[in-house]
Structure 1
Amino acid sequence: MLWPFGSTWRPVRWRRRDALELRWLSARTWTRRWYPQGIDLGSWRDRPTIAVSWFRQRLDGVHLASRVTLVDRERARHLDIVLVVTGDDGELEPAPIHAGGLAWFGDRLFVAATGRGIWEFDLSDIRQVRGADARRLAGARARRSRATALVAVRAAVHPVALRCSFLGRVFDDDGSPLRRVLIGEHRTDGSGRIGEFSIPEDPEDAFLETDRFAPDIARMQGAVRWGDRYFVSQSDQLHPGVLWSGPQSALTRDRAALPVGCEDLALDLDAELLWTLGEHPWRRVVRGIPFAHLGIGDGGKAQRT
């Protein structure tokens, strides 16, 4: 009997101290070819799952491929799904996107495509490709004669009048997930904006903007909202990242430090954790920060998880 994630999996390592941390037990912890970016939570084969997006590039910066890694929260295993698009000739091609943020709604996975809106991928139609096609779509060099890849095909492109550097979920006051997302811009000068958009029922329909503001935070990497409380991540090169939280008009610096090279954010209200990740080689970690360390909740669920 195959593990619910399929036959292609590799282990990861969980550490539980002040925060819940995932470490990669492979070359992906140090490689300069793949960089982790976005994060969100969902369910895969009825199992609680963390999704982490990556982009692949050559050492000269040329983009090669993008993927999403699904991590089983309970069994510390993961698999990769390559993101692809259908070319004009009907052939599958690697999705050329930075994948700076994720929002996971059932079978619909929304990915931030910097400068090109939000791309939607269909997780209900995961395909398996082999051989040269698998290596090409994953941006890999032809080292082996046999290879297999799972791929998710782009279902729609949603134009958005923002740079679309990152993407985060929105929850109501009582913790109910809303069909809304925060879409933000990474700018070095603090001019980045964050907009809130409702998710259309039909993939052919457009996102509807309901709010927009500019928090005057340089190098924003992610944003989520719970009721009237926002959380925004800010990177600081090779220093620990900064977390800003509070009402939209009064965001303040939180005492909790984020990983070096911090990226996207995701809220886990069931486990009372705020998830983020670091992108720099040798410092890569997926971290769940208990709400109790943020001054909210009692931390009980996080400790039990």
Structure 2
Amino acid sequence: MFGLFGSMWRPLRHRRRGVVELKWLSARTYTTKWYPQGIDFGTWQGRRTLAVSWFRRDKTGQHLASRVTFIDLERSRHLDVALTIEGDDGELAPAQIHAGGLAWFGDRLFVAATGQGIWEFDMSESRRIRGAAARRMVGARGRGFGAVALAVVRTRVHPVPLRCSFLGRMFDTHGTSLPRVLIGEYRGDKLGRIGEFTIPGHVEGSFVSVDQSSPQIARMQGAVQWGDRRFISQSRGLQPGALWDGDGATPQRSDVPLPIGCEDLALDPEGRMLWSLGEHPWRRVVRGIPFDRLGL
């Protein structure tokens, strides 16, 4: 696993109307080169940790790189890790994907590579890269960016019969993580699907479909499940995002707002929080909603 959390900046943690918010105190709050998308919760070095995925693109919309930021929730510090692919010659190349969602199971990190299935990365080992190689892993040019970077390597690509725009974990009512995920499709209309899948084994196997539904919600961005309660995020342009709550077939819109430009969802059993994040420049925030506001 990686060493101590390093940081050039700290996200500001504060409470606002009963929620916990982290705000980026750097160019990340407004850059149009990198966009935050996926989120999940885990424990790292004994600390409660959030993982946030980002993708980098150029002015034409071409994807250049992707990374995950691990945030120590107690100290509000962070560590960036580049997502990479290893070639036959051992050289690393950036994972040029729209990293739309995360599911974190111990040393296994599953990433929704929108339109390209689910990509799996091994977090048990990291590689420290420097200079031009580091800049290449983060899709940057010139000498002033990415002098040193940490990277994790893709181990497998898992084909899934859905567009794989996002994915989220499932828990029982006691907060135990189940070996299943929800994988869903973002669409502008109401025809997007969400499927429940078992995760593959460490060495072999594939995502196996358990159930599939179309909840009739346009612009779905994330989904997680606690017992028989399924939560779905819906983006609404420059208005606060909507949270849908209920069983998989007939969710109802909640009165709990999500961030503007909301994306993925994550459940935090230890802190009893539902986490989401906003992607729009100048409105980027990572927000934790206490379970008691959700009736959990």
The percentage of aligned residue pairs carrying the same residue is 62
Partner residue of 1:12? 11
| TM-score, length of structure 1 as denominator length | 0.93
8 Å contact kept, 1:5–1:78: no
Does residue 287 of structure 1 match 2:283?
no
Partner residue of 1:300? none
- Provide the rounded CA distance (Å) in 2 between the counterparts of 1:140 and 1:40: 26
Deviation at residue 7 of structure 1 after TM alignment = 4.3
- Provide the rounded CA distance (Å) in 2 between the counterparts of 1:290 and 1:145: 37
Partner residue of 1:135? 135
- Provide the rounded CA distance (Å) in 2 between the counterparts of 1:145 and 1:57: 15
Partner residue of 1:75? 75
* Runs (5+) with no aligned partner, structure 2: none
2:118 partner letter: I
Partner residue of 1:116? 116
8 Å contact kept, 2:234–2:242: yes
Farther off after superposition, 40-49 or 128-137: 40-49
1:145–1:24 distance in 2 versus 1, CA, 3 Å: closer
SS at match of 1:126: strand
Deviation at residue 143 of structure 1 after TM alignment = 2.7
Does residue 179 of structure 1 match 2:188?
no
8 Å contact kept, 1:120–1:155: yes
8 Å contact kept, 2:6–2:78: no
Instruction: Give a deviation string over 1:59-113, Cα, whole Å, max 9, x none.
Output: 2212111000000010010010000001344321110111100000000000001
Deviation at residue 250 of structure 1 after TM alignment = 2.1
SS at match of 1:256: coil
2:112 partner letter: A
Count of matched residue positions in the alignment of Structure 1 and Structure 2: 294
Deviation at residue 4 of structure 1 after TM alignment = 5.3
SS at match of 1:134: helix
- Provide the rounded CA distance (Å) in 2 between the counterparts of 1:215 and 1:5: 42
Instruction: Give a deviation string over 1:120-168, Cα, whole Å, max 9, x none.
Output: 0000111100000000111112133981000010011111000000010
SS at match of 2:136: helix
Partner residue of 2:236? 236
8 Å contact kept, 1:163–1:184: yes
8 Å contact kept, 1:233–1:263: yes
8 Å contact kept, 1:156–1:203: no
- Provide the rounded CA distance (Å) in 1 between the counterparts of 2:205 and 2:8: 36
1:209–1:146 distance in 2 versus 1, CA, 3 Å: closer
8 Å contact kept, 1:85–1:95: yes
- Provide the rounded CA distance (Å) in 2 between the counterparts of 1:203 and 1:233: 32
Instruction: Give a deviation string over 1:205-228, Cα, whole Å, max 9, x none.
Output: 111111111101000000001111
1:252–1:7 distance in 2 versus 1, CA, 3 Å: closer
Does residue 261 of structure 1 match 2:261?
yes
1:7–1:175 distance in 2 versus 1, CA, 3 Å: closer
8 Å contact kept, 2:128–2:149: yes
SS at match of 1:276: strand
- Provide the rounded CA distance (Å) in 2 between the counterparts of 1:98 and 1:88: 23
- Provide the rounded CA distance (Å) in 2 between the counterparts of 1:156 and 1:228: 30
Query: Superposition RMSD on alpha carbons, in Å?
Result: 1.5
Deviation at residue 254 of structure 1 after TM alignment = 0.1
2:192 partner letter: G
Partner residue of 1:302? none
Matches within 5 A, 1:63-102: 63-102=63-102
Deviation at residue 290 of structure 1 after TM alignment = 1.1
- Provide the rounded CA distance (Å) in 2 between the counterparts of 1:145 and 1:191: 41
